[in-house]
Chains A and B, each alone.
Chain A
Amino acid sequence: MSGNMNLTLKIWRQKNANAVGGFETFNVKNISLDSSFLEMLDILNEELELKGVEPVAFEHDCREGICGACSLVINGRPHGPLDKITTCQLHMRHFKDGDIIWIEPWRAKAFPVIKDLIVDRTSFDKIIQAGGFVSVDTGGVPDANAILISKESIETATDAAACIGCGACVAACKNASAMLFVSAKVSQFAVLPQGQPERYLRVEAMVKRMDELGFGSCTNTYACEAECPKGISIRNIARMNRDYFMSKIKSENVEM
């Protein structure tokens, strides 16, 4: 099955955050069907380096779908044409000999391009800093079963916690909205007893920060859920909306 293929790549190149970018065309030859998409880019970069051309900058780390570093919008789809995988898990067998592949960075005001295909995703960290945590005081180790949690709650929480913070939801959304990410980070605590003391303050603080950072508003197109490599559900967004309204009604916090 391992016939090799030749491809034409149209890659977004941009020197730095302030430079004007544009697409450049590259040809890669003899790519194995078994190589991954990022390996294909590694091969391209090796060739470019031998030619003395600046390699294409792209982000990656674990290369096994768990860190969220890899990005890339491939032919208009964040993380490429397949569902529920990251770019690093995409293999070349899903492309055909002679294909033209367009590779673009995440596009959002809150994710400015730093170089080529790399964007600055610090705004996600800033949202987490605003409230995406549980403040615990240190002390003795609590008894394992001191707090009972239903299987359903645990599953909902861990499903939400599967979010790797890649930003594909923002990249996919026509409004560059971060609702899926933020709702996953809100929900992973909101359904657990440990998350209750800060439940309402957390959602208000994180939503406020999200708005300040220039992400768009959700219009329920559900493109985020379709493109999320971890299958984070839009039910988390519903939960976040619910908590946000409840917080506005119930909390005595007039600051936010």
Chain B
Amino acid sequence: MGWFFRALNSSIGKKFVMAITGVCLLLFLIIHLVNNLTLFGGPELFNNVVKNLETIKPLVRVIEVILALIFVFHITNAIRLWIENKKARPVNYKINGSSKNSDIFSRTMFVSGSIIFIFLVIHLRTLWVAFNFGHPKAVTHEYFDILVEAFSSPIYTGLYLVALILLGYHLYHGFQSAFQTFGWNNKKFFPLIKKLGLIYTVIMIIGFASIPIYFFFFYGGNV
């Protein structure tokens, strides 16, 4: 198996790990969004959806572990690549011309990723912990009200939206980048893939942003 680990540790192999975990995360976001949009169905529907998920808790736990592992691989590889890539250019240019030859989304993947990570930690702390570990409202299955409470804070809602914009940067570059990494770039399909990436990003960002905005303006302060 030596060849296998050497392959994964090669420059292209590390990119492959980034891309395959990245694509898993892209798919996860779709599921997550669909699940979240049930919030617009009102407290009853949402509370029921979460309650139903409770009944298949062991399965949910397994999926959560897999998801966590995907994040761990994505993030550890990102950090490794970032450090190695810094080392490959020990002296920087006095004049940085990168804005003339590349877009900002591609150049800020590590920054946008790091913000997403910080967001993720806060997000899990406020919502995942509340849903799973005995928040009084979770015990009585009033999950909907937990969100009403969270998004009543303008700071929390604001941070949420800023993080979403950076997620948009990450997704827009990441989507087509993964195809390029897998070697699926040809003259006919790549322009289409870039467009699909834009559509995916816009849907994800508008979809996820609609929730805090809706809660802040329609439920803000009604806790």
In contact, A217 and B3 (Cβ under 8 angstroms) = no
Chain A positions within 8 Å of B6 at CB level: 256
Q: Which residue of A lies closest to B89 (CB)?
A: A176
Q: Which residue of B lies closest to A242 (CB)?
A: B183
In contact, A175 and B85 (Cβ under 8 angstroms) = yes
A29 sits at the interface (CB 8 A) = no
* A84: min CB distance to chain B, Å: 12
In contact, B182 and A75 (Cβ under 8 angstroms) = no
Interface residue range, chain B: 35 or more
* A234: min CB distance to chain B, Å: 7
9 A-B contacts (beta carbon < 8 Å): A77-B101, A107-B91, A219-B15, A220-B173, A222-B106, A239-B183, A248-B3, A253-B3, A256-B3
Interface residues of A (CB under 8 A from B): 10, 12, 23, 73, 75-77, 81, 102, 104, 107-110, 172, 174-177, 179, 207-208, 210-211, 214-223, 226-227, 234-235, 237-245, 248, 253-256
**Cα separation A253 to B2 with both chains bound (whole Å):** 11
> Contacts A174-B85, A221-B106, A242-B183 hold; do A208 and B10 have CB atoms under 8 A apart?
yes
Pick the residue among B14, B84, B93, B100 that contacts A104 (CB under 8 A): B93
Residues B61-107 near A (CB distance < 8 A): 81, 84-85, 87-98, 100-103, 106-107
Selected interface stretch from B50-58, B115-123, B184-192, B214-222 = B184-192
Pick the 9 closest A-B CB pairs, nearest first: A76-B97, A242-B183, A216-B88, A76-B95, A175-B85, A238-B185, A226-B101, A221-B106, A176-B88
Pick the residue among B7, B84, B93 that contacts A216 (CB under 8 A): B84
A-contact 0/1 string along B147-184, CB 8 Å cutoff? 00000000000000000000000000100110011111
In contact, A245 and B10 (Cβ under 8 angstroms) = no
In contact, A76 and B100 (Cβ under 8 angstroms) = yes
**Cα separation A220 to B91 with both chains bound (whole Å):** 21
Chain A positions within 8 Å of B184 at CB level: 238
Q: Max chain A CB contacts within 10 Å: which of B85, B88, B109?
A: B88
**Cα separation A214 to B90 with both chains bound (whole Å):** 11
**Cα separation A151 to B214 with both chains bound (whole Å):** 58
In contact, B94 and A109 (Cβ under 8 angstroms) = no
**Cα separation A161 to B46 with both chains bound (whole Å):** 59
In contact, B95 and A102 (Cβ under 8 angstroms) = yes
Chain A positions within 8 Å of B88 at CB level: 108-110, 175-177, 214-216
Q: Which residue of A lies closest to B184 (CB)?
A: A238
Chain A positions within 8 Å of B94 at CB level: 10, 12, 23, 76, 102, 104
**Cα separation A49 to B97 with both chains bound (whole Å):** 32
Chain B positions within 8 Å of A174 at CB level: 85, 89, 98, 102, 107
B126 sits at the interface (CB 8 A) = no
In contact, A76 and B96 (Cβ under 8 angstroms) = yes
Supplied contacts A174-B98, A256-B3, 8 more A-B pairs, CB within 8 Å:
A23-B94, A75-B97, A76-B96, A215-B11, A216-B85, A221-B102, A238-B180, A248-B3
